[in-house]
Amino acid sequence: MGKTAPSDQRRNGIKQIYFVLIIAVIVIFIWLTAVISQTSGLPSVSPEVSANQFQQGWYYLSGGEKHAVEAFPAQVSYEGGEGVFYNVLPETGEGQSLMFSNDYQSVQVYVGETCIYDYGYENLPPLGNLLGNIKCFVPMKEEYSGEEISIHLKMNYWEEKAAIKSVYLDNTSDLIFQMLKSQAGLVLCLILMLLFCVALFACFVWARYKKITEESGVFLNLGLFVFLSAVWIWTDSSLPQLVFKSGIALCVTSFFSFMLLPVPMIGFVEKICAGKTRMFRSFQLMCLLNCAVQSIFYAAGIADYPQMLPVTHLLLAAVIIFIICYLIYDVRNHASYYAKGMLVAIGALTLFSFAALLNFYISRRLDNSLFFRMGFLLFILILGYMSVKMLLSYQEVRTQAAVYQKLAYTDLMTQVNNRSSFEEFIDGLNAEVRSEKNLTFIMLDLNGLKQTNDKYGHKAGDRLLQSAADCIKSAFGEAGTIYRIGGDEFFVAVTREDVNVEERLSYMDERIAEYNRRHSEDPFCLSIARGTASEKEYPDCGIDGLWKKADENMYREKAAFHSSR
């Protein structure tokens, strides 16, 4: 094997350093902004509009005794099949709401003995026990002031304790603003993901338009992965309930998008890897089957999606292990650049996920999902960079192939199509089922080229050939296709009915006469014999017969030219 040139080694080294520096700058920027925004002691520059927390005075009953809730999130053991939190309402009024987070629990809220809110107790969901992950908004009234309020919670699966994260009591508009403000990072992440998704689908459409079929699949799979990720992150938050009424439909959408996430990712990895295996398609089918079976179980009332979540997690873990193992195999056996990039992307996502976990244990008050979202964005950006580079590389190869093909089918001296191109054209016409009779063939032959070569040299003959080609192109360049099929022979195929061949030949003769006037000092002149044959004149000849007729007519004129001298 040949050694890499020193200049190439330096160029590759600079590219690697450049890539590492870009990643380092991105990581440093993310780290700095995260640390500064979370730990700065300076006053906030954003408007101070915050909802009033209603977290004092809560208690629960256990064994007939009151127990104060010391801090939120809070849990209480079931008594009588439910967990209940009690408090006394402060002064309330119209336009206010009690807001608290609820994860898949049935909820009833009582003021005194009156039930003022029911979510999943008496008002049962249409299928199974799935209730979703939502924020409950309980409207308040002025007459509720000073009354006892109780929140009844019941989990239909998973735990034996009722849980509540936090409770707010304020104007509904302030509560909504607080919810939006707390999700600002998530909103920004979703906007970036959707913009990236649009860019990927635009690249897919462009690649399909350019007929880059294989590489278009890379953009399609990555675009679908980003789209499903955005849908999952969005529906798993509390934002959609500001727009959609059904929390259950949002929950089903969240589980669907999560279960389908591996399908486009597997397709993306398959496209970028040099090696191929049926395992890719097998894992995709397993993910689709998992989604279908769980949906059937949910619709039949056998089990809800949260109860079957461990199956999805195990399948997802198997997919990730398979992808990592296959990427390592592809790097070792095929030295795949794109497999290396994919491993880097997975490593970055793992690193940021670990940072999010570490951040959770260091300070539970910080936005623990921030690092994961940043890592996920970096993961997608790396994959996007790889996809664009793959497309540009493929486009470069296609451009080079087009240049080589043009060289293979172009006569270098005259810059018209050569004999190989002509034979493919004739073979294509013979294989084609044609109903229209609109073909005209023109055979052209330089008079006296051999004598010019013998007497004045091949340089003079070459100049005569190039000049003949220029005259033919000036007459038929836009009206037909020109081929050089022999040393001094040219062929023109006219397929348009609106082209007057005789007028074009007359124009060619004018160009020939003009050339001879400009080069009157030359001891030789340019002269071209021609013969035409059209399907209208010879409708039953066929393609080869039509070519032969044009050739015969050309030689008849050539013989007349020589006999007249």
**193 shares a domain with 301:** yes
Q: What is the mean pLDDT of residues 515-528?
A: 85
| Residues paired with 99 in a beta bridge | 137, 168
- Residue 10 inside a domain? The answer is no
Give the pLDDT of residue 364: 40
User: Which of 178, 199, 226 marks a domain boundary?
Assistant: 178
pLDDT over threshold 80, residue 500: yes
Q: pLDDT digits over 100-150, tens only?
A: 988 888 899 999 999 999 998 888 888 878 888 888 899 999 999 999 999
Confirm if 41 and 377 have CB atoms less than 8 A apart: no
- Residue 493 inside a domain? The answer is yes
Q: 194: Cβ–Cβ under 8 A, 6 or more apart, which residues? A: 230
- Residue 293 inside a domain? The answer is yes
Q: What is the mean pLDDT of residues 513-525?
A: 86
Q: What is the mean pLDDT of residues 5-17?
A: 63
Give the pLDDT of residue 544: 84
Averaged confidence pLDDT in the chain: 81
Q: How confident is the model at residue 46 (pLDDT cuts 50, 70, 90)?
A: low
Question: Using CB atoms within 10 A of its CB, is residue 294 exposed (0-12), middle (13-18) or buried (19+)?
Answer: buried
**465 shares a domain with 547:** yes
**328 shares a domain with 202:** yes
pLDDT over threshold 70, residue 433: no
Q: pLDDT digits over 48-75, tens only?
A: 545 678 888 999 888 778 889 888 888 8
- Residue 54 inside a domain? The answer is no
pLDDT over threshold 80, residue 367: no
Whichever domain contains 225, its CATH number is 1.20.1070
Q: pLDDT digits over 372-388, tens only?
A: 677 777 877 777 777 77
Percent of the chain's residues with pLDDT above 90: 13
**432 shares a domain with 519:** yes
- Residue 309 inside a domain? The answer is yes
Whichever domain contains 456, its CATH number is 3.30.70.270
**529 shares a domain with 458:** yes
pLDDT over threshold 70, residue 361: no
**208 shares a domain with 152:** no
Give the pLDDT of residue 63: 77
Give the pLDDT of residue 58: 92
**329 shares a domain with 206:** yes
Whichever domain contains 98, its CATH number is 2.60.40
Q: What is the mean pLDDT of residues 215-235?
A: 87
Give the pLDDT of residue 9: 62
**510 shares a domain with 440:** yes
Q: How confident is the model at residue 219 (pLDDT cuts 50, 70, 90)?
A: confident
Give the pLDDT of residue 124: 81
Q: What is the mean pLDDT of residues 525-546?
A: 85
User: Which of 178, 193, 210 marks a domain boundary?
Assistant: 178
Give the pLDDT of residue 4: 47
Confirm if 469 and 490 have CB atoms less than 8 A apart: yes
**332 shares a domain with 443:** no
User: Which of 402, 429, 454 marks a domain boundary?
Assistant: 402
pLDDT over threshold 60, residue 40: no
User: Any idea which of 82-86, 153-157, 399-403, 512-516 has the lowest mean pLDDT?
Assistant: 399-403
- Residue 50 inside a domain? The answer is no
Q: How confident is the model at residue 366 (pLDDT cuts 50, 70, 90)?
A: very low
User: Cα separation of 123 and 466, whole Å?
Assistant: 89
Give the pLDDT of residue 529: 87
Give the pLDDT of residue 115: 93
- Domain coverage including residue 492: 419-563
Q: How confident is the model at residue 282 (pLDDT cuts 50, 70, 90)?
A: very high
User: Cα separation of 53 and 242, whole Å?
Assistant: 20
Q: What is the mean pLDDT of residues 215-220?
A: 82
**394 shares a domain with 263:** yes
Q: How confident is the model at residue 39 (pLDDT cuts 50, 70, 90)?
A: low
pLDDT over threshold 80, residue 90: yes
What are the b/e assignments for 303-340, b being 16+ CB within 10 Å? Answer: bbbbbbeeebeebbeebeebbbebbeebbeeeebebbe
pLDDT over threshold 60, residue 1: no
**488 shares a domain with 353:** no
- Residue 209 inside a domain? The answer is yes
Name the residue with higher pLDDT: 514 or 274.
514
Confirm if 353 and 375 have CB atoms less than 8 A apart: yes
What residue ranges in 112-232 does DSSP mark as E strands? Answer: 114-119, 133-139, 148-155, 161-164, 167-171
Q: What is the mean pLDDT of residues 39-43?
A: 58
User: Cα separation of 224 and 203, whole Å?
Assistant: 13
Name the residue with higher pLDDT: 376 or 264.
264
CA distances to 18, 24, 224, 381, 391 from 386, rounded to whole Å, are 15, 17, 16, 9, 9
Percent of the chain's residues with pLDDT above 70: 86
- Residue 130 inside a domain? The answer is yes
First to last CA, the chain: 65
**398 shares a domain with 426:** no
CA distances to 24, 73, 89, 303, 516 from 65, rounded to whole Å, are 58, 21, 21, 36, 119
CA distances to 133, 138, 153, 248 from 107, rounded to whole Å, are 12, 11, 5, 14
pLDDT over threshold 90, residue 296: yes
Q: How many domains does the chain have?
A: 3
pLDDT over threshold 80, residue 362: no
pLDDT over threshold 80, residue 550: yes
